[in-house]
Amino acid sequence: MSAEEFDVVVAGGGPGGSTVATLVAMQGHRVLLLEKEVFPRYQIGESLLPATVHGVCRILGVADELANAGFPIKRGGTFRWGARPEPWTFHFGISAKMTGSTSHAYQVERAKFDQILLTNAKSKGVVVREGCSVDDVVEDGERVTGLRYTDPDGNEREVSARFVIDASGNKSRLYSKVGGTRNYSEFFRSLALFGYFEGGKRLPAPVSGNILSVAFDSGWFWYIPLSDTLTSVGAVVRREDADKIQGDREKALMDLIGECPLISEYLSNATRVTTGQYGELRVRKDYSYQQTTFWRPGMVLVGDAACFVDPVFSSGVHLATYSALLAARSINSVLAGDLDEKTVLTEYEARYRREYGVFYEFLMSFYQMNVNEESYFWQAKKVTKNENTDIESFVELIGGVSSGETALTAADRIAERSAEFAAAVDQMASGDGDNMVPMFKSHVVKQAMQEAGQVQMKAILGEDAEPEMPLFPGGLVASPDGMKWLPYHPA
């Protein structure tokens, strides 16, 4: 069997997989993405963070499409949580990193959101094959050199690539091929039972699109508005209370709702959806875990394949898309011949673990119910070592921007300048008559011009663009367009 060859092959077309595939293809590399299902397909994880929609999605080129897709606008979160009996609300806009047009996220139907990202991947040059289940990796000594998969006709096929990305999510076993072990948290081992309702109440404007999270004796509820009338409702119960979601799921969910006065009130005039993709009541383990290693030569884990943290802060899609951005940077740097694999993937793993770690560590204190929200805000400041106020630290942590990454907070300006510069270079390269500059026909020269433009762009971004500093001593920094790593040279 002779294998097809690509620069990169990605297993899984969720947010992690489609993001990493797109960002590598955007640098001109050949990328194949294999997805087991045929889209659109159901997935849980509907509440997004600003870092995803205004950061990664802007770089992917889908931010405007998302804005026009009719998804409810999430300006923050409303919690009935901790010692205070009344609900309390936070707004993303309180942080200087998420002001104005970037002070919100969306609540999304994942079938639609994931389809937008996958279609965008195709339009940016990724070869996408749906209905293709990845079975195993191909190895050559220490190195992973490709994947084996089964195509929609049941044929076994093989593909070789310089890099294999496992973005196949929570349920797949492919991750184990990276080596090491998957360590489960002692603290966050809950189970979720969830379904969909029509006609549930809404929080008052302007926070009607907020996620509402309500703690109760057996755990907590999410209440996510997906349209004016459709609501995603899930009960997350502790492992000790797992028997409460055994047996008849309909009865179990209604009993849990009955235990929680606020959710009962919001659903008092609602009816459960019983047909279509939202008709089923589903159960998912949401145990937190992390793999002891996120990569080996030739193979990288992205998103849930690497780690997962309790969903109370809606961090899953952020961690998937942010890790995809970090992985794409690493692979783009190696494929361009700029840096070696070990250096960039060490940076990848350290940054992804750092982001995962702040959510994980903060969650430990968030589950203390005998304190009020001010105590949570103070904890967020401690965990992120943020210099802003307690409440800003909290909002930045759960907005996904606590790393201070320019790509997550100023992506609109970066994308604008990148597009302007690329268009100018293209025009010079392909121009005719008086505009013809033969030198620009060379790919190498064109690339060099683009690199130079990134330096210019940094100047254009101006004083308000924080100088990018390594996150770790001796570490790398992102290139100004966010697509690669650069060595750090202090001025």
Only one of the segments 34-42, 74-82, 390-398, 399-407 lies at the binding site for ligand FAD (rule: CB under 6 A); that segment is 34-42
Contacts with ligand FAD by CB under 6 A: the residue count is 37
Q: Using CB atoms within 10 Å of the CB of residue 196, give its burial: 0 to 12 exposed, 13 to 18 middle, 19+ buried.
A: buried
Position 487, amino acid: P
Q: Which of 7, 21, 25, 43 binds ligand FAD (CB under 6 A)?
A: 43
Pick the closer one to ligand FAD by CB: 314 or 454: 314
User: Is residue 16 within the footprint of ligand FAD (CB under 6 A)?
Assistant: yes
Nearer to ligand FAD, 281 or 457 (CB): 281
Residue (339 or 401) nearer to ligand FAD, CB: 401
Report the residue from 44, 350, 460, 461 that binds ligand FAD according to the rule CB under 6 A. 44
Binding mask 229-248 for ligand FAD (x = CB under 6 A): -----x--------------
DSSP 239-301: GGGGGGGSS-HHHHHHHHHHH-HHHHHHTTT-EE--SGGGSS-EEEE---EEES-SEETTEEE
Q: In 10 A of CB 464, how many CB atoms? A: 8
Burial of 439 (0-12, 13-18, 19+ CB in 10 A): exposed
Q: Is 202 helix (H, G, I), strand (E, B) or coil?
A: coil
Candidate segments 15-23, 77-85, 264-272, 441-449, binder of ligand FAD by CB under 6 A: 15-23
CB of 235 to ligand FAD, least distance (A): 10
Report the distance separating Cα 53 and Cα 186, nearest Å: 32
State the Cα–Cα distance between residues 224 and 278, nearest whole angstrom. 14
Q: What distance in Å separates the CA atoms of residue 223 and residue 286, rounded to the nearest whole number?
A: 17
Q: Does 226 bind ligand FAD (CB under 6 A)?
A: no
Residue 47's DSSP bridge partners are: 107
Binding flag, residue 291, ligand FAD (CB under 6 A): no
Q: Which residues pair with 235 in a beta bridge?
A: 193, 221
Q: Does 453 bind ligand FAD (CB under 6 A)?
A: no
Query: Which window, 31-39, 98-106, 154-162, 443-451, contacts ligand FAD (CB under 6 A)?
Result: 31-39
Q: Could you say whether residue 37 binds ligand FAD (CB under 6 A)? A: yes
Residue 124 CA to residue 142 CA, distance in Å, equals 32
Provide, rounded to whole angstroms, the least separation between the CB of residue 360 and ligand FAD: 14
DSSP H or E segment with residue 344: helix 341-366
Q: How far is the CB of 223 from ligand FAD (least distance, A)?
A: 11
- From the list 112, 201, 202, 284, which residue makes contact with ligand FAD (rule: CB under 6 A)? 284
x-or-dash string of contact with ligand FAD, 317-356, rule CB under 6 A: xx-x------------------------------------
Does 316 interact with ligand FAD (rule: CB under 6 A)? yes
- Coil vs helix vs strand at 359: helix
Window contacting ligand FAD (CB under 6 A); options: 154-162, 247-255, 303-311, 408-416: 303-311
Q: Smallest distance, Å, CB 102 to ligand FAD?
A: 17
Say how far apart CA 482 and CA 410 lie, in whole Å.
10
- Region of 246 on the Ramachandran plot (φ > 0 left; ψ -120 to 50 alpha; else beta): beta
For the CB of residue 414, give the shortest distance to ligand FAD in the complex, in Å.
Answer: 23
134 binds ligand FAD (CB under 6 A): yes
Which residue among 8, 12, 56, 331 contacts ligand FAD (CB under 6 A)? Answer: 12
Rounded CA separation 429/439 (Å) = 8
Shortest Å distance, C-beta 49 to ligand FAD: 7
Give the 3-state secondary structure of 102-131: HCCEEECCHHHHHHHHHHHHHHCCCEEEEC
In sequence order, the β-bridge partners of residue 33 are 10, 128
CB nearer ligand FAD, residue 21 or residue 383: 21
Of the ranges 20-28, 44-52, 241-249, 259-267, which one interacts with ligand FAD (CB under 6 A)?
44-52
Question: Applying CB under 6 A, does 286 fall inside the site for ligand FAD?
Answer: yes
Taking the complex as a whole, the smallest distance from the CB of residue 202 to ligand FAD amounts, in Å, to 18
Contact with ligand FAD (CB under 6 A) among 119, 160, 172, 185: 172
Q: By CB under 6 A, which span of 69-77, 166-174, 195-203, 385-393 interacts with ligand FAD?
A: 166-174
Is residue 314 within the footprint of ligand FAD (CB under 6 A)?
yes
> Between residue 396 and residue 425, which ones bind ligand FAD under the rule CB under 6 A?
none
For tokens 């304190």, the residue is 371
**What distance in Å separates the CA atoms of residue 218 and residue 369, rounded to the nearest whole number?**
12
Task: Count CB atoms within 10 A of the CB of residue 98.
Answer: 27
CA angle 40, 42, 43 (to 5 degrees): 120
Task: Provide the binding-site residues for ligand FAD, judged by CB under 6 A.
Answer: 11-17, 34-37, 43-48, 133-134, 167-170, 172, 174, 192, 234, 284, 286, 303-304, 311, 314, 316-318, 320
